[in-house]
Structure 1
Amino acid sequence: MLVPFLIMLREGLEASLIVGIVAGYLARTGRRDWMPMVWIGIFLAVALALFVGAGLQLVSAEFPQRLQELFEAIVGFVAVAMLTSMVLWMRQAARSIRAQLQSSIDAALSGSRTRGLALVGLVFFAVAREGLESVFFLLALFQQSPGAAAPLGALAGIAVSGLLGYGIYVGGVRLDLARFFRWTGIFILVVAAGLFAGSIRHLHEAGLWNHLQSVVADLSAVLPEDGTAGTILSGLFGYMDDPRLGEVLAYLAFLAGALFLFLRPVAAKSAAPRSATPAPALR
C-alpha cells in the first residue's frame, strides 16, 4: 500500500502543481473566463488514462499464460521507462516549469479562433502525461501485488496530493518541493529497479530469456516472499526470495545508472532575458 500511495502522491502533486500554475496565471492576468477549458482538459486527460488502463487490463485477461507473462514484462519495462524519464525530466524542469507554462498559456491564448482548443490541449497533454505514467506503473504493481491494498493506497495518494495541491494554490500549505521531489525521486528509482528485475523474471517465464538463471541465494526458508515481511519488501524494493544472477545484475546496473543520472549536478542554464517572467526555483 505504501508504494502506490507515495507514487500517486508524487504524480498527483506534479499534476496539481501544473494545474495550479495554469489556474493562478489565468487569475492574475484577468482571464478567469478560460478556467472551464482547463477543467475540460483535465477531464479528458483523466478519461484517457482510465480508458487505457481498463483496456489493457481487459485485453490481458484473455491472454494464455506465456503471453500473459510477456505482457507483464512489457508493461513493467514501459512503467520503468516512464517513471525514470519522469523523475529525470522533473529534475531538469523544476526550475523553469512555471515560466514555460506561462509562456505556453500566452501562446495558446494569442490565436483568434482556436484559443479554447489550444488551452484545452495544453492542459490535456500536461495532465495526460502524469496519468499515463501512473496507469503503467499501477498495472505493473497490481500484477505483482494482487489484492485491495494497492488500489486503496493509490486512491489515498491521489486524494492527499489533490488536497496538498489545492493548499499550495491558495497559499496555505508550504512545502520544500525541491527536497520532496529529490527524495521521492530516489524512492521511485529504487522501485523502478525492482520492476525492471521483475520484468526480467517475466521474460524468463515467457520463455524469452534463459540466460544467467543460476540462483544467487535461496532465502525462501529465512524470508519467504509470500510472508508478511517478504510481501512488504517485494512491494517496496522488488524483493524475490530466489533471485537469479541476471535479475540481480539488472537491478544493480539499472539502479547505479539511474541514481548517477539523477544525483549528478544540474547544468546551469543561461540567464533568461529581463523581459521574461522569472521562474522561481523549487528550492
Structure 2
Amino acid sequence: MLQAFIITLREGVEASLIVGIVFAYLSKIGRPELKKTVFWALASAIAASVAGAVVLARTQFNSDVFEGWVMLAAAAFVISMIWFMHKTARSMKGEIEAKVAKYTGGAGVSKLGLFFFVFLLVLREGVETVLILSAVSLNSTELLSFTGTLLGIAVSVVFGVLFIRGSVRINLQRFFRVTSVILYFVTFQLLVSGLHELSENGVLPSSAAEMRFIGPIVRNDLFFFVTMLALAGLMILMEQRRRAPEALPADATAADRRRAQWSQRRERMWMTAVVSTSFLFIFLSTAEFIYAKSSTALSPTSAVTLVGDQVTLPTAAINDDKLHRFGVHIDDGKGGSPEVRFLLYKKPDGNIVSVADACQICGPVGFYIGAQGITCKMCASPLNAASMGQPGGCNPIPLKSTAGGGQIVIAASDLKALVPHFEK
C-alpha cells in the first residue's frame, strides 16, 4: 500500500504541479476561459492513460517505445510553453490579454496548443503510473495497492489546489522566473527519459558510454521531483515572508478591516499549506528512495569452476523466481582470467534460462529484482521476465545452455565468448 501511495504521489504531484502552474498562469494573464480547455485535456488524458495502459498490457506493442515517444512530444510542448511565457513576460507593459491573443495567433491556436501541452504531460504520467502499479500489484494485495493508489491521487489533487490558491497573488514576473526554471527541469527530464527508453529498445542507436551518462540521471530521477517541489515551495515561502499587510484607507470601516484581515489570514493559510505539503512530500519521497536503494544491491555471486570444457549446475536449486548468480574464471588467452558472471532464472513458463550478468548497452553492471521486477543496475530499466534469454535492448546477453538429467550444462566456449564484456 505504501509503495503504491508513494508511486502515485510522485507521479501525481508532478502532473498537479505543472497543471497548477498552467491554472495560476491563466488567472494572472486574464484568460480564465481557457481553463475549460485544461479540464478537457485532463479528462482526455486520464481516459487515454487507462485505455493506453490496458492496450499496452494486452498487446505485444512495446510500452517503453510508446512512452519514449510521448516523453519527447511532451518535451517539445513544454519548450513551447516556456517560450510563450518568456514572450508574455517581455510584453507586460501593455494590456496582457491583447498581447496573448496576438502571440498565440488567436484563441483557436491557443486552445489547441494548451490542450496538447496538458494532455501529453498528464498522459505520460498516467500511463507510467498505471504500468508501474500493475507491477507493484504482483507483490501486494490488490485492495491495499488500490487504496494506496486512490490516496496518492487524492493527495496529489489537493496539492494542485493548494498550489493554485497559494500562488494566485504572487508577482507575475517572479512567478515566471521560478516556474520557468521548474519547466526547464521538466523538459530535461522528459528529453533524457525519452531518449533512454528509445535507446534501450533499439529505436535509437546507443552505447555503453551513452548509458554511463544517461543511466545515473534516469536512475536518480528523484532529483528532478525534489528540485521542482523545492522551487515551488520556496517561491511560496519567499512570497509569504515578503508580503506586507494590505494598506487600508483611513476612512475604512470596521467591516472593511475585518474583511482585509480575513483575506490576509486565508492567503497565509494557503501559502503555509503549500510549503508544508511540499517539504512533507520531499521527505516521504526521499525516505522511499533510500529504502528502494537498499534493495538494489546485487545478490552474492556463487563461484563455480570448469570441469573439463563445461560448467554443470543442478536444476533442483533453480526452483523460485529469483536470479541465481554465478561466476567462473575463464582464461582469456592473454595471461588473464577475468570472472564471467552469469544468471540462471526460472521464467514464468517454467523453463530455466541462462544469461550473462551484463547487457550490450550498459555492460557488466548486473541485474537485480526490485519493485518493478528484473532491473538493470546501471539505468534502472525494468525488464519483462518473459523476455529473459532474448537479445536486444537492455536485456541480459543470451548464454547458450542445455538442460537434461536434472543438470544445466554450459560450454566453456560459450562462456569464453562473454569474456570481452567483463574485461571492460
Q: TM-score range by the shorter chain?
A: 0.5 to 0.7
Report the RMSD for the aligned CA atoms in angstroms.
Answer: 4.7
Cα offset for 1:196? 12
21-30 or 181-190, which deviates more: 181-190
Provide the residue aligned with 1:34 in structure 2.
34
Quote the sequence identity (%).
25
Cα offset for 1:253? 5.0
Structure 1 residues 17-49: Cα deviation after superposition (integer angstroms, max 9, x where no partner): 111100111110011111101111111110111
Provide the residue aligned with 1:175 in structure 2.
275
Q: 1:203-282, aligned counterparts within 5 Å?
A: 204-205=347-348, 207=351, 209-211=353-355, 238=371
Q: Provide the rounded CA distance (Å) in 2 between the counterparts of 1:33 and 1:151.
A: 35
The structure 1 residue matched to 2:105, chosen from 89, 101, 111, is 111
Q: Provide the rounded CA distance (Å) in 2 between the counterparts of 1:122 and 1:191.
A: 32
Which has the larger helix fraction?
Answer: 1
Q: 1:116-135, aligned counterparts within 5 Å?
A: 116-135=111-130
- Which one has more relative contact order, counting CA pairs under 8 Å at least 6 apart? 1
Structure 1 residues 174-225: Cα deviation after superposition (integer angstroms, max 9, x where no partner): 3374784586267358649969998979884455842369xxxxxxxxxxxx
Residue ranges of structure 1 left out of the alignment (5+ in a row): 61-70, 214-233, 241-246, 256-283
TM-score (norm 2): 0.38
Q: Provide the rounded CA distance (Å) in 2 between the counterparts of 1:14 and 1:166.
A: 13
Q: CA 1:203–1:119 in structure 2 vs 1: closer, same or farther (change >3 Å)?
A: farther
Q: Provide the rounded CA distance (Å) in 2 between the counterparts of 1:192 and 1:15.
A: 24
The structure 2 residue matched to 1:102, chosen from 55, 77, 85, is 85
Q: Provide the rounded CA distance (Å) in 2 between the counterparts of 1:108 and 1:188.
A: 46
| SS of the residue 1:157 aligns to | helix
Does the CA-based 8 Å contact 2:136-2:371 persist in structure 1? Answer: no
Provide the residue aligned with 2:144 in structure 1.
149
TM-score (norm 1): 0.54
Which has the larger strand fraction?
Answer: 2
Residue ranges of structure 2 left out of the alignment (5+ in a row): 89-99, 167-269, 299-320, 324-343, 358-368, 381-424
| SS of the residue 1:148 aligns to | helix
Does the CA-based 8 Å contact 1:196-1:251 persist in structure 2? Answer: no
Provide the residue aligned with 2:21 in structure 1.
21
Does the CA-based 8 Å contact 2:135-2:372 persist in structure 1? Answer: no
171-180 or 160-169, which deviates more: 171-180
Q: Provide the rounded CA distance (Å) in 1 between the counterparts of 2:44 and 2:297.
A: 30
Q: 1:83-98, aligned counterparts within 5 Å?
A: none
Q: 1:194-205, aligned counterparts within 5 Å?
A: 204-205=347-348
The structure 1 residue matched to 2:288, chosen from 187, 195, 198, is 187
Q: Provide the rounded CA distance (Å) in 2 between the counterparts of 1:101 and 1:190.
A: 40
Which amino acid in 2 is paired with 1:184?
S
Does the CA-based 8 Å contact 2:296-2:377 persist in structure 1? Answer: no
Provide the residue aligned with 1:224 in structure 2.
none
Does the CA-based 8 Å contact 1:7-1:188 persist in structure 2? Answer: no
